[in-house]
């Protein structure tokens, strides 16, 4: 049986967006995730003679969907996305635990509201090479999490708890390059976290070379992302001191941490 050569490629878009493509180089085809603009995607595909098979949407914000209409006009392809999205472009509506097969790889849908009410993520049930992959949109970022534009802190906390239970060798493909600013805040919350400080230095070197800091491994996020560490005593202590509270409830700590980040 012929081996499938798959890779995840990135297109830098708009101000700080990442458009991800899951590419099968054997048959020169791809699926694109959250195309916030069409010209950059069309140019990338034409240059490499890659055919687009479908579009995956994580949530309805325009910087993740503005390119859909033009891509569909050009390729006449399905658009996968949340069942409760206000976007009319979605033709294949997905719910929690729905599966779809992309280039022979099974992806499971995870509902992760918080940033928006309609947010979903796409998780590869089997590894691609040695790692699972997660297209997470704006729910989880390098060193941080999405702002609460529509959902609640409790929703976001629950969504991130789902992510925490995934295999630690999961590569996180987020929608934006926010890592350095997130890590700068994270250091304020956990100044004695040596893994966090090392990550900041490593990622700063990447950005100095104009390299993406993403994807990141879930194991690294669990060690350095305060929004995944609200059960950790160092994060709890920082929140208690910052807000003058004496509470260990993880959801309370998470909500306070999100408020702190919003004003940081």
C-alpha to C-alpha distance for 127 and 169, rounded to whole angstroms: 9
Q: Is 202 a catalytic residue?
A: no
C-alpha to C-alpha distance for 140 and 45, rounded to whole angstroms: 27
- Write down the pLDDT at residue 126: 87
Residue 224 contacts residue 199 (beta carbons within 8 Å): yes
Q: At what angle do helices 233-243 and 250-263 cross, to 10 degrees?
A: 60
Residue 78 contacts residue 90 (beta carbons within 8 Å): no
- Write down the pLDDT at residue 5: 79
Q: Is 60 a catalytic residue?
A: no
Q: Identify the CA nearest to 223 among candidates 234, 208, 212, 209.
A: 234
Q: Hey, what are 162's tokens? A: 């789902």
Domain boundaries, the chain: 6-263
Contacts of 180 (CB under 8 A, 6+ apart): 200, 203, 204, 207, 213
Q: Is 59 a catalytic residue?
A: yes
Count of helix runs (H) and strand runs (E) in the chain: 9, 14
Q: Is 61 a catalytic residue?
A: yes
pLDDT of the chain, 264 residues: tens digit per residue: 345 579 999 999 999 999 999 999 999 999 999 999 999 999 999 999 999 999 999 999 999 999 999 999 999 999 999 999 999 999 999 999 999 999 999 999 999 999 999 999 999 988 888 999 999 999 999 999 999 999 999 999 999 999 999 999 999 999 999 999 999 999 999 999 999 999 999 999 999 999 999 999 999 999 999 999 999 999 999 999 999 999 899 999 999 999 999 999
Q: Which of 60, 103, 115, 132 is catalytic?
A: 115
Q: What is the homologous superfamily of the domain 6-263 according to CATH?
A: Ribonuclease Z/Hydroxyacylglutathione hydrolase-like (3.60.15.10)
Output DSSP code: residue 232: S
Q: Which of 34, 60, 103, 138 is catalytic?
A: 138
DSSP assignment string, 124-176? ESS-BTTBEEEEEETSEETTEE---SSS-HHHHHHHHHHHHTS-TTEEEEESB
Q: Is 34 a catalytic residue?
A: no
Q: Hey, what are 24's tokens? A: 């099968």
Residue 103 Rama label (left phi>0; alpha psi -120 to 50; beta): left
Q: Which of 60, 61, 103, 132 is catalytic?
A: 61
Q: Is 138 a catalytic residue?
A: yes
Q: Which of 64, 103, 119, 132 is catalytic?
A: 64
């Amino acid at each position: 049986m012929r081996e499938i050569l798959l890779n995840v490629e990135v297109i830098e878009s708009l101000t700080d967006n990442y458009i991800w493509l899951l590419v099968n180089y054997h048959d020169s085809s791809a699926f694109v995730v959250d195309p916030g603009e069409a010209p950059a995607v069309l140019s990338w595909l034409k240059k490499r003679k890659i055919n687009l098979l479908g579009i995956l949407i994580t949530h309805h914000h325009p910087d993740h969907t503005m390119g859909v209409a033009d891509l569909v006009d050009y390729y006449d392809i399905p658009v996968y996305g949340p069942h409760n999205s206000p976007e009319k472009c979605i033709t294949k509506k997905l719910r929690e635990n729905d599966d779809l097969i992309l280039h022979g790889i099974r992806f499971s849908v995870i509902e992760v509201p918080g940033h928006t009410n309609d947010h979903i993520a796409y998780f590869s049930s089997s590894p691609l090479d040695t790692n699972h992959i997660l297209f997470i949109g704006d729910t989880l970022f390098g060193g941080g999490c999405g702002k609460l534009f529509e959902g609640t802190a409790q929703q976001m906390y629950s969504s991130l708890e789902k992510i925490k239970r995934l295999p630690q060798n999961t590569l996180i493909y987020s929608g934006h390059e926010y890592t350095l600013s997130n890590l700068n805040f994270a250091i304020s919350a956990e100044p004695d976290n040596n893994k966090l400080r090392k990550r900041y230095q490593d990622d700063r070197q990447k950005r100095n070379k104009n390299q993406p800091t993403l994807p990141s491994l879930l194991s690294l996020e669990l060690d350095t992302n305060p929004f995944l560490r609200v059960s950790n005593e160092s994060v709890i202590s920082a929140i208690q001191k910052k807000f003058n509270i004496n509470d260990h409830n993880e959801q309370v700590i998470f909500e306070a941490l999100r408020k702190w980040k919003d004003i940081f």
